[in-house]
């Protein structure tokens, strides 16, 4: 990701970079950008060309391809997706550290150019820095997006519980889309706070900062979709293989030795649909070690003692997923370098790794494998069509989330401040309601 220092671009090159960066960050097409230029005064246009031009020149001198590589832009392209911010600060790879450092420079440059009024009222909301967790800096407005995500997941769960109870009482149709109901309820609760205003008088720098945090969120959501899509395809293939070996159902397991024997038997014969790698040396032991680390059953049972009877089901399903990755030479893309991805085996089987050292995307991949197998009830009946349906339902939820989050790109600073307060109220009891407001003055309006 590193590159030699380059001289600051000038003239037409700089104008082109300004146009490209603004449009890429705000999600504008050529006509929208032209309309914006015509809507502002000559002084404001000069500010765009000169002041934002200074930002572009500084960034270009430090980091080639900065606008597209620093998680600043989003255009709906999953090839630019990533999960980099999920790295812990202590275990962040050097390329991610460099990206983070330059991203913080960009956010600081924008913050310095906010108007006095915006900094006085919304300075905390727009303040750049590293958040409580994660390796990528952002503005504190990112917390509003996290609250929004938590509310969507909470409503999805609660609506699912309600629909199940109503179905049990024969009070609602058998076919009902829980996600649509949950999203409709959220829109009702938030009302005009998530409706794009006719006029947005926030400065260009404030709008760029808010859009940057939305874009990073969308890049991560897209990466989750990419990994989940890969997991779904692999787990459907795994279930087909297991049906060939065991018929309609997996044998029951009651201890670690039975899990080990079942994995060895299940993966003993090559799959007819893919190249195959048999267990050698300590490969099976290492597969089981990773499966146990990903299932994390001891921690799970400590938190939820009622899952104790399912301990070995958890380990078996995770073990089958990891074993499938080993035997099929499953490839994982770390997304460390956005334009030059680093691909490697999901598991090589030659060594036991410290689970704390796993790339966060890899852990997400394994857990998604397990959730697909568990929630589609493969422990009881082997059915790869249920894998497809489970993935389709989860992807629909992510798409619905993105549809709402994308709306934040057009919202004003005042709307973000209002959402910060409203979401905390709706998430009462989750901890978010105990956080200080990002815009204290909003409550007085």
Distances (CA, A) of 114 to 15, 51, 76, 381, 414: 21, 11, 28, 59, 15
Q: What is the pLDDT of residues 27-69, one digit of tens each?
A: 998 898 888 888 888 888 887 888 999 999 999 888 888 888 8
Q: What is the pLDDT of residues 248-264, one digit of tens each?
A: 999 999 888 999 999 99
Paired tokens of 46: 């000069």
Q: If we measure between CA atoms, which residue out of 283, 351, 272 comes closest to residue 319? A: 283
Query: Across residues 367-390, what is the average pLDDT?
Result: 94
Q: What is the pLDDT, as a whole number, of residue 441?
A: 63
The rounded distance, in Å, linking the Cα atoms of 155 and 427 is 10
Q: If we measure between CA atoms, which residue out of 273, 239, 241, 249 comes closest to residue 384? A: 239
Q: What is the pLDDT, as a whole number, of residue 7?
A: 39
pLDDT of 349 > 60? The answer is yes
DSSP bridge partners of 129: 138
Q: What is the pLDDT, as a whole number, of residue 421?
A: 94
Query: Across residues 310-330, what is the average pLDDT?
Result: 91
The CB-side HSE value for 58 (13 A sphere, CA atoms) comes to 15
- Cβ neighbours of 337 (radius 10 Å): 16
Query: Across residues 287-293, what is the average pLDDT?
Result: 88
Question: In the chain, pLDDT over 70 holds for what percent of residues?
Answer: 91
- Mean pLDDT over all residues of the chain? 87
Backbone torsion region of residue 170, taken as left when φ is above 0, otherwise alpha when ψ lies between -120 and 50, otherwise beta: left
Query: Across residues 152-158, what is the average pLDDT?
Result: 92
The rounded distance, in Å, linking the Cα atoms of 3 and 17 is 18
Q: What is the pLDDT, as a whole number, of residue 162?
A: 86
Q: Whole-structure pTM over 0.85, yes or no?
A: yes
The rounded distance, in Å, linking the Cα atoms of 259 and 317 is 9
Instruction: Break the chain into its structural domains and give their ranges.
Output: 250-380
Paired tokens of 53: 């031009």
Q: What is the pLDDT of residues 100-144, one digit of tens each?
A: 999 999 999 999 999 999 999 999 999 999 988 788 999 999 999
The rounded distance, in Å, linking the Cα atoms of 140 and 160 is 31
Query: Across residues 213-242, what is the average pLDDT?
Result: 95
Query: Across residues 303-327, what is the average pLDDT?
Result: 86
DSSP bridge partners of 272: none
The rounded distance, in Å, linking the Cα atoms of 330 and 230 is 10
Q: What is the pLDDT, as a whole number, of residue 10?
A: 46
pLDDT of 5 > 70? The answer is no
Q: Mean pLDDT lowest for which of 146-160, 170-184, 386-400?
A: 170-184
Q: Does 44 or 232 have the greater pLDDT score?
A: 232
Which residues are CB-contacts of 313 (< 8 A; sequence separation ≥ 6)?
253, 374, 379
Q: What is the pLDDT, as a whole number, of residue 50?
A: 87
- Cβ neighbours of 355 (radius 10 Å): 13
Paired tokens of 236: 């459907």
pLDDT of 369 > 90? The answer is yes
């Amino acid at each position: 990701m590193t590159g030699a220092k380059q001289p600051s671009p000038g003239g037409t090159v700089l104008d082109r970079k300004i146009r490209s960066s603004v449009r890429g960050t705000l999600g504008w097409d050529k006509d929208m950008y032209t309309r914006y230029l015509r809507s502002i005064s000559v002084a404001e246009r000069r500010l765009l060309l000169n002041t934002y031009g200074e930002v572009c020149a500084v960034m270009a001198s430090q980091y080639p391809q900065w606008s597209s590589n620093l998680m600043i832009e989003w255009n709906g392209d999953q090839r630019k997706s990533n999960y980099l911010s999920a790295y812990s600060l202590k275990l962040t790879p050097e390329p991610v550290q460099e990206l983070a450092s330059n991203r913080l420079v960009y956010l600081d440059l924008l913050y310095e150019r906010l108007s006095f009024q915006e900094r006085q009222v919304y300075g905390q909301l727009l303040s750049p820095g590293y958040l409580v967790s994660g390796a990528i800096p952002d503005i504190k407005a990112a917390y509003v997006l996290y609250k929004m995500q938590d509310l969507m997941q909470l409503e999805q769960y609660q609506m699912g519980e309600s629909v199940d109870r109503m179905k049990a009482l024969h009070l609602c149709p058998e076919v009902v889309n829980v996600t649509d109901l949950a999203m409709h309820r959220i829109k009702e609760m938030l009302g005009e706070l998530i409706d794009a205003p006719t006029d947005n008088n926030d400065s260009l720098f404030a709008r760029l900062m808010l859009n940057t945090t939305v874009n990073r969120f969308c890049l991560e959501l897209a990466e989750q979709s990419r990994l989940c899509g890969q997991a779904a395809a692999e787990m459907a293939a795994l279930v087909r293989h297991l049906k060939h070996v065991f018929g309609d159902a997996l044998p029951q397991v009651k201890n670690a030795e039975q899990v080990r024997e079942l994995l060895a038997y299940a993966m003993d014969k090559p799959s007819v649909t893919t190249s195959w790698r048999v267990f050698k040396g300590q490969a099976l032991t290492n597969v089981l070690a990773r499966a146990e680390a990903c299932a994390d059953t001891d921690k799970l049972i400590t938190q939820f003692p009622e899952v104790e009877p399912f301990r070995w089901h958890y380990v078996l399903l995770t073990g089958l997923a990891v074993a499938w990755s080993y035997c099929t030479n499953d490839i994982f893309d770390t997304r460390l370098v956005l334009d030059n991805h680093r691909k490697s085996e999901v598991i090589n089987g030659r060594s036991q790794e410290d689970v704390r050292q796993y790339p966060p995307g890899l852990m997400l991949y394994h857990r998604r494998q397990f959730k697909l197998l568990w929630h589609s009830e493969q422990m009881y009946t082997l059915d790869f069509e249920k894998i497809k349906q489970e993935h389709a339902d989860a992807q629909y939820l992510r798409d619905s989330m993105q549809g709402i989050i994308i709306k934040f790109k057009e919202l004003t600073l005042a709307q973000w401040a209002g959402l910060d307060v409203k979401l905390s109220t709706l998430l009462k009891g989750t901890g978010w309601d105990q956080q200080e407001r990002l815009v204290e003055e909003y409550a007085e309006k």
